[in-house]
């Protein structure tokens, strides 16, 4: 029987991927990767085997990956003293050294052409994986709907739904939908060697407003602002300037379809339709 490992399994995406994987294959064939014994405990209590490894420590990864056939590599959140690119290189090289046969990697939608500052590390990692000689599925996730929680909370708490992405479209889906698709790819016996553009149904912020109005009793003003006014609003509401700049830039990218796609890959990997936006918004409220 194949052995499966999910990295980042103590996080949101990896935890969901473990859960969906356990619906497809025996729990005894699933291993989570955690950075510490402390964090591993919760997963062990759920009946998962857990090994300890850190993307910044190559040897820990080689040891953790031994005997694993199919690895779901959840991209690192952090670029600290050791850059995200080095961390990702460690994971791919260690997988190869340990004899892993297949890597599923969580990348970013349209990574190769994206203007997003996040894309560089993903393209770097995709290339490493393609050159590694291992079988692969590049899982290019579009935007998590959960990323909009701050805008939604502001609408419900201070009565203002604020954005500057204009009529730009975003292919939002729930994190759990991407995670289930990843688990499906991992548990398949396909070699794939394929890039998946995993996208929800295209929607604008006006559509998100309508979904929120549908899913909540909240009354809020809708402010579709110019970038400078969006930044001012964020700073006036205690968002640190660097993060405000990032968010405003993100919205300008969204205006230019940076996170949009008409790909059906997510539906195809899930084998069903996606959760409609108003139901998905209700779920994250």
The residues binding ligand NAP (CB under 6 A) are 8, 10-14, 35, 39, 54-56, 74-78, 87, 106, 141, 143-144, 147
Backbone dihedral region of 257: left (phi > 0), alpha (psi from -120 to 50 degrees) or beta? left
Q: How far apart are CA 252 and CA 210, in angstroms?
A: 21
Smaller CB distance to ligand NAP: residue 11 or 218? 11
CB neighbour burial string for 180-219, b if at least 16 within 10 angstroms, e if fewer? bbbbbbbbeeeeeeebbbbbbbbbbbebbbbbbbebeeee
Smallest gap, in angstroms, from Cβ of residue 232 to ligand NAP? 25
- 55, 88 in Cβ contact below 8 A? yes
Q: How far apart are CA 122 and CA 170, in angstroms?
A: 19
Smallest gap, in angstroms, from Cβ of residue 90 to ligand NAP? 9
CB neighbour burial string for 129-154, b if at least 16 within 10 angstroms, e if fewer? beeeebbbbbbbbbbbbbebeebbeb
Smaller CB distance to ligand NAP: residue 106 or 204? 106
Smallest gap, in angstroms, from Cβ of residue 125 to ligand NAP? 10
Smaller CB distance to ligand NAP: residue 162 or 171? 171
Smallest gap, in angstroms, from Cβ of residue 228 to ligand NAP? 25
Smaller CB distance to ligand NAP: residue 56 or 252? 56
Smaller CB distance to ligand NAP: residue 14 or 104? 14
Smaller CB distance to ligand NAP: residue 74 or 94? 74
Quick one: 240 exposed, middle or buried, by C-beta within 10 A (0-12, 13-18, 19+)? exposed
Smaller CB distance to ligand NAP: residue 220 or 254? 254
Smallest gap, in angstroms, from Cβ of residue 133 to ligand NAP? 23
Q: Which residue is nearest to ligand NAP (CB)?
A: 11
Using the structure block, give the residue that is written with the tokens 């599923």: 104
Smallest gap, in angstroms, from Cβ of residue 280 to ligand NAP? 13
- 65, 94 in Cβ contact below 8 A? yes
Q: Which helix (H) or strand (E) holds 70?
A: strand 70-73
Q: Cβ atoms within 10 A of the Cβ of 272, count?
A: 10
Smallest gap, in angstroms, from Cβ of residue 283 to ligand NAP? 16
């Amino acid at each position: 029987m194949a052995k499966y490992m999910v990295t980042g399994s103590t996080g949101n995406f990896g935890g969901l991927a473990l859960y969906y994987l356990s619906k497809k294959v025996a729990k005894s064939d699933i291993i989570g990767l955690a950075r510490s014994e402390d964090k591993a405990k919760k997963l062990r209590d759920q009946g998962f085997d857990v090994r300890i490894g850190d993307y910044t420590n190559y040897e820990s990864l080689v040891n953790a990956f031994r005997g694993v056939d199919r690895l779901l590599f959840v991209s690192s959140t952090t670029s600290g003293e050791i850059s995200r690119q080095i961390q990702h290189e460690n994971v791919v090289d260690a997988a190869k050294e340990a004899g892993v046969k297949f890597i599923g990697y969580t990348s970013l939608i349209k990574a190769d052409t994206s203007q997003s500052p996040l894309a560089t590390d993903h393209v770097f990692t995709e290339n490493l994986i393609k050159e590694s000689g291992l079988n692969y599925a590049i899982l290019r996730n579009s935007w998590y709907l959960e990323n909009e929680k701050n805008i939604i909370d502001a609408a419900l708490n201070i009565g203002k739904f604020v954005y500057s992405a204009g009529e730009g479209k975003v292919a939002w889906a729930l994190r759990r939908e991407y995670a289930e698709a990843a688990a499906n790819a991992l548990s398949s016996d396909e070699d794939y060697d394929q890039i998946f553009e995993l996208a929800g149904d295209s929607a604008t912020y006006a559509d998100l407003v309508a979904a929120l109005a549908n899913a909540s009793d909240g009354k809020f003003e809708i402010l579709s602002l110019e970038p400078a006014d969006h930044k001012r609003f964020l700073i006036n509401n205690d968002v640190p300037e660097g993060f405000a700049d990032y968010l405003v830039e993100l919205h300008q990218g969204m205006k230019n379809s940076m996170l949009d796609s008409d790909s059906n890959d997510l539906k195809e990997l899930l084998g069903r339709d996606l959760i409609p936006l108003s139901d998905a918004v209700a779920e994250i409220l």
